[in-house]
Amino acid sequence: MEDSGSASDNQRPWQSYHTVYTNAKAGMEGVDKEKVQRVVYEMSKGSKYFENEERKEAFIRQKIEHMRARAAKLSAADLSHYQKVADKRILELEATRELSRIWLHVDMDAFYAAVETLSNPSLKGKPMAVGSMSMLSTANYEARKFGVRAAMPGFIARKLCPDLIFVPTDFKKYTYYSGLTREVFRNYDPNFMAASLDEAYLDITKVCKERGVTGGEIAEELRSRVHEETGLTCSAGVAPNRLLAKVCSDINKPNGQFVLPNDRMAVMTFIASLPIRKIGGIGKVTENILKGVLGISTCEEMLQKGSFLCALFSRSSADFFLSVGLGLGGTDTPVARFRKSISSERTFSATEDAASLYQKLADIAEMLSTDMQKKILLSRGSRRMCSLCGAELPSSFVEERQEHSDFHLAERLQKEESGTGSSASISRQRVMPKEYIGSQNRRKKHKSSPAEGKHLPIDSFFAKKSGQKS
């Protein structure tokens, strides 16, 4: 069987190439999986992306083989011991089951694409994706029928769907419509959890009790109000916990809902045949490992293979898998957490031009600096004054005050590094090594010393200028 599988992979190498395709996305259930994999394989072959994915695939295969070897070495006594461990953990986890709360997960339907269609009705009914030839952010349901989806390079999407229309991203627009939906959510749960611009979790237990209505009725009403306020449709899932509510919201997409009763038997029946990939937290890699090592493809099989899970995985991972098999998920209202870091990123075309890369780094640094300033200006609550700029900061937020201090440090170091000159040269010079500044002729006239290597040592950013007072 092993040789037969290898021969098949050699004849059809795309069958083992799983970098982009997944039918876990709503609207892709009837897609020709082999055709999509073949196109992705042929369009990617030979690229750096392909080479990187091959390295990752090789690592996963190695990990699977290693875990298979470990599983094969488990004796009957070992398995008996780990079965007792699994049974004990299942009982402990079962004792935490909470069926008194009602959670609603709302997910906007192809959000970015829907917003663009709302702005340009001529796109309605046509296969369309938001993004560029480099990468897609999302695709509408018409495009998904061809296997086109988010996180897919645009040139591959065009090969799958020649009539695909590309629309550039407009996050200002998406943020605006996201804000409208959140105003609706607040009417049902003021402390709702926003998972992203287009999805959120709401604890509707209180509103259901106060109004004497069911979770399904609240979901229907909320979806109707979202459509009235935005012109957009959304799908919803109602269940006893957040993990199940998210799964439920995907069942009747688009513009539908699914209600899972707060009943243990209903939950266990629902979870039994559910594919593991439908669970948030189980991605491509984990799915391949569970299938490749233990033959697990449904949530019910998590419990059946509990002894192996406890033997081969860490305590936390095994607990998560067993919880999935029991249909358990979060039911508490998470404690608000303050932001500990700020970052900025952009996706751009591959390039080996070092000067271009350093300029891109400068641009991203500028965006990060702007975001940091906005965060300081939008602070609220009890205040303390910054002695350097006069900004007021929350007195109890130690980390936020440290971020503010770090901002001033970065600002000072930027000025020290850049010196005087235009804003463009300032952005460029503070991140570019010396050999990339100046004319080509000047670079040809001298040979860089070891101290003038391609990378600046980190401590050079903190070295004081000669003659500068402390």
Catalytic annotation present for 352: no
Compute and round to an integer the Cα radius of gyration of the chain. 27
User: Given the structure tokens 């196109």, which residue do they identify?
Assistant: 39
By three-state DSSP, how is residue 358 classified?
helix
Closest of 274, 213, 217, 216 to residue 243, by C-alpha: 274
Q: How far apart are CA 332 and CA 250, in angstroms?
A: 22
Distance in angstroms (rounded) separating the CA atoms of residues 463 and 470:
11
* Residue 15: DSSP 8-state: G
CA angle 276, 281, 287 (to 5 degrees): 40
Q: Could you say which of 199, 287, 300, 301 is catalytic?
A: 199
> How many CB atoms within 10 Å of residue 44?
21
**What is the amino acid identity at position 56?**
K
Contact present, 16 and 33 (Cβ < 8 Å) = no
Q: For the chain, first and last CA: distance in Å? A: 73
Q: Cβ contacts of residue 440 below 8 Å, gap of 6+?
A: none
Please answer whether residues 235 and 253 qualify as being in contact, where contact means their C-beta atoms are separated by less than 8 angstroms: yes
Structure tokens at 65: 């083989």
- The whole-angstrom separation of Cα 109 and Cα 177 is 13
Task: Please report how many Cα atoms fall inside a 13 Å half-sphere around the Cα of residue 452, on the Cβ side.
Answer: 9
Q: How far apart are CA 128 and CA 131, in angstroms?
A: 10
Closest residue by Cα to residue 67 from 326, 328, 325, 317: 317
- Is the previous residue joined to 254 through a cis bond, with omega within 30 degrees of 0? yes
CA dist., res. 72 & res. 59, Å (int): 20
By the 8 A CB rule, do 199 and 106 touch?
yes
Q: Using alpha carbons only, what angle is made at residue 306 by residues 302 and 309, rounded to the nearest 5 degrees?
A: 90
Beta-strand runs (E) in 70-228: 103-108, 128-131, 136-139, 165-167, 193-196, 199-203
Catalytic residues: 199
